[in-house]
Amino acid sequence: MTYEAFLDMPPPVSTVQHKGERVVFGRSGRAFVHHYTKKPQQRALDEYTRHLLADIKKRVNVDGIGTYSMFTTAIEVEINFYFPHPSNVAKRDRLKTFAKVTRPDVDNMAKGLLDCLSRVGLIQDDALIYDLRIRKFTVEEQNRGVYIRISDELGDLPESKEVKQQKDKANGKV
């Protein structure tokens, strides 16, 4: 089974890495660290959740998506973040797609989105992901958004021999 969606929203630049912590004293006077989600990060997570729930609501009767976890076995996930071009891109290049090589980091952007996929019930847990591909691009303003593809159809998994060959090649033994 495969789930594909394009979330028509600006990709959030606030990432999961931007968490806060503060020292709080309990009633007994003992100090402990309280971890919390900062407001920009919480807004980004809420935005993801809102768009995902809207997409699921549209598909409930069509694809059989319900309130249960849709994917409960090993899954492949592909995520593409499409940011608007920066203002310094020449007009002749505005129709092109470029790789985005500036902040935010893709790994930190994906953490929040993967947590939201679990929160809305698309995947049981992000530990089920065995293959994850994350990319970020700059595109025209009207094409910005987030593309998600989740599939539980296992592709070609490496055999033991292939794994050993890759290991030897990496260690310079070939």
Which neighbouring-strand residues pair with 23?
Answer: 33
Give me the mean pLDDT over the 17-38 stretch.
Answer: 76
Average pLDDT over residues 22-28: 83
- The CATH number of residue 46's host domain is 3.30.1330.70
Of 98, 101, 107, 84, the residue nearest 11 (C-alpha): 84
CB atoms within 10 A of CB 29: 6
Q: Which two tokens stand for residue 122?
A: 């698309």
What would the two tokens of residue 150 be? 């989740």
Q: pLDDT tens digit string along 40-87?
A: 888 888 999 999 999 888 877 666 665 556 888 999 999 999 999 998
Cβ atoms of 49 and 116 closer than 8 Å:
yes
By DSSP bridging, strand 98-99 and strand 129-139 are antiparallel
Domain count, the chain: 1
How do residues 91-147 score in pLDDT, each as one tens digit?
Answer: 889 889 999 998 888 888 898 899 999 999 899 999 999 999 999 999 999 999 999
Q: How far apart are CA 75 and CA 92, in angstroms?
A: 40
What's the domain range around 87?
2-170
